[in-house]
Amino acid sequence: MFALLEKENSVAGPGFNRWLVPPAALAIHLCIGMAYGFSVFWKPLQGALLGADGKALPICAAGATTFGDKLAGTLRALTATDCNWTQFDLGWLFTLFFVLLGCSAALWGGWLERAGPRKAGVVATLCWCGGLLISALGVKTHQLWMLWMGSGVIGGIGLGLGYISPVSTLIKWFPDRRGMATGMAIMGFGGGAMIGSPLATMLMAKFAGNGDPGVWQAFVAMALIYAAFMLSGAMGYRVPPSGWKPGGWEPPAAAQGNTMIATRHVHLRMAHKTPQFWLLWLVLCMNVSAGIGIIGAASPMLQETFAGTLVGHPDLGFAALKADKELLAKAVAVAAGFVGLLSLFNIAGRFAWASSSDRLGRKVTYIVFFVLGIALYFGAAVFAGSKSMGLFVASICVIGSMYGGGFATIPAYLADMFGTQFVGAIHGRLLTAWSTAGILGPVVVNYMHDVRHESKVPYDQLYGPIFYVCAGMLVVGFVANLLVRPVADRFFMSDEELAAEKKLAHERSVAGAAGGPGVVAASGGSTSVLAWLAVGLPLAYGVWMTLQKALVLFD
């Protein structure tokens, strides 16, 4: 059993259908992408602990008015069993998710290149699903530290390994369509919440009863479901033999003008010594920072900016809207539709923008992201001021598509710059930019929002300067992208060094893979159809559920 996990035993045989690899990657990404949907558990968990009278116990941070008081309440909540948790307490899971994702990808990316995607996928499964089980125990015993440790820390490590596990393999299987290949897999990470959120809601409704919100049972059920999908995906990974290329395709030659596509390979230990690595780090960090804060605030942003317009009363401000519970509920439903529509653009952008980068080139694609993004952020500020809701929603949705497209395009950009031998590990290190952006973007947006609100700025004018700051972040990213040049020759490995690394990575040549032990036989078209149906049907379900919410916008 353990031998099946070894990289040399996952080398594909002659005639293997490379289109079987993307659904294997999607099976893992659709599961770990539920990290985006964890907020569905916040409300049920906040009132989970009941007193003898059947009413929810007070929160652990009762009476807290300052950040220090809230933090003290959270520290108490870590082990307290006589008070309920707040959204502030639970929200730290998001920070842990994306900080640990970046850190684990950076720490173990090199190991992944040598161990292979199959072993990394199995470890990611154990971490993500095992973390859910630990979290279930934490919820059942009302121990917040177990929730943080289970899903946040252990699950976060699973996120990192699962996220980068297919990158190098897909790029090597699709050297002719690098952007499209990584876009297909990373699209799944954006779509995980679309499937997981309604699934979690359904499971909680099924298990709820006698004052129990059904959260820990939902965690257990999801851990088992995800384990089945993720293990199937991990065992479905195949790596191409060294030297393999699609029939009829030839690598682009630098002599033909493709100077931005390397024909040699940079070692992992040298990548971070190049200016290109840090310029691309800044490119990703600024693109994500500008988008993640706005996406995270999408629902309240629409409600505060357009208020009564959402419910057919354009003269009604947000303060008056809050006083009418019935109208507020309708506005919340419309805002939820906006969030759903934004998530669809986020997912579609991951595939569409990354695929288009195969023709446009990675550098030009990011120029489009930054120039168009800057224009749209300025436009959003103008549309918010003029109460043009349709144009405002369209602007934010296109921004959301480029936010997702940035994630999906960066692995192909790295492969172009540094070659493919260590692209998965280099990508892992670059994801620390995501960890940084996951803190920077929301902190800037939320801080500016709260300060302006406390200064008595009207609700519908809160976000204008925030959009300008986001545009400024994109200006920084634009400059960094313009400075990217081909990597200098001194950073590339020699042929002898490359051969030694291939040996350490247990790679097998095309000739050696023709019938060696453990080589999997070629797979037919029917297997490919079944594999795509296995991931396509859940994704279609998630899209349909999200569209139903988004249709409220057009009522």
Task: Note the pLDDT tens digit of each residue in 393-439.
Answer: 999 999 999 999 999 999 999 999 999 999 999 999 999 999 899 88
pLDDT for res 527: 83
Q: Are residues 194 and 341 in the same domain?
A: no
pLDDT band at 524 (very low <50, low <70, confident <90, very high): low
Structural domain count of the chain: 2
Give 193-217 pLDDT, tens digit per residue: 889 988 998 999 999 888 889 999 9
Q: Report whether pLDDT(511) > 70.
A: no
Whole-number Å distance between alpha carbons of 174 and 176: 5
Residue 165 exposed, middle or buried by CB count within 10 Å (0-12, 13-18, 19+): buried
pLDDT for res 510: 62
Give 297-334 pLDDT, tens digit per residue: 888 899 999 988 988 888 889 888 888 888 888 888 88
DSSP character string of 60-119: TTTT--SHHHHHHHHHHHTT-SSSB--HHHHHHHHHHHHHHHHHHHHHHHHHHHHH-HHH
Q: Are residues 173 and 219 in the same domain?
A: yes
Residue 77 domain boundaries: 1-50+71-241
Task: Choose the weakest-confidence range: 6-20, 287-301, 340-354, 518-532.
Answer: 518-532
- As a whole number, mean pLDDT of residues 237-250 equals 86
Q: Are residues 271 and 399 in the same domain?
A: yes
Q: Does 539 map to a domain?
A: no
- Mean pLDDT estimate for the chain: 89
Q: Are residues 294 and 389 in the same domain?
A: yes
Q: Report whether pLDDT(124) > 60.
A: yes
Last residue of a domain, one of 462, 478, 493: 493
pLDDT band at 517 (very low <50, low <70, confident <90, very high): very low
Q: Does 477 map to a domain?
A: yes
Q: Are residues 199 and 300 in the same domain?
A: no
H-helix segments, 361-494 = 362-385, 389-418, 423-430, 432-454, 464-482
pLDDT band at 50 (very low <50, low <70, confident <90, very high): confident
Q: Does 519 map to a domain?
A: no
- As a whole number, mean pLDDT of residues 509-532 equals 59
Q: Does 472 map to a domain?
A: yes
Q: Are residues 309 and 434 in the same domain?
A: yes
Q: Does 251 map to a domain?
A: no
Q: Are residues 220 and 300 in the same domain?
A: no
CATH of residue 446's domain is 1.20.1250.20
Q: Are residues 337 and 200 in the same domain?
A: no
Q: Is 47 in contact with 276 (CB distance < 8 Å)?
A: no
Q: Does 254 map to a domain?
A: no
Q: Are residues 409 and 465 in the same domain?
A: yes
Q: Report whether pLDDT(509) > 70.
A: no
Total count of residues recorded for the chain: 555
Check residue 241 and report its DSSP letter: P
pTM of the model: 0.88
Q: Report whether pLDDT(370) > 80.
A: yes
Q: Are residues 234 and 309 in the same domain?
A: no
Q: Does 273 map to a domain?
A: yes
Last residue of a domain, one of 207, 241, 275: 241
pLDDT for res 555: 65
Task: Choose the weakest-confidence range: 195-204, 255-264, 357-366.
Answer: 255-264
How many helices and strands, by DSSP H and E, does the chain display? Answer: 22, 0
Q: Report whether pLDDT(514) > 60.
A: no
Percent of the chain, pLDDT > 70? Answer: 95
Torsion, Cα of 348, 353, 354, 355 (10° steps): 90
Q: Are residues 223 and 276 in the same domain?
A: no
Last residue of a domain, one of 493, 516, 536: 493
Q: Are residues 176 and 27 in the same domain?
A: yes
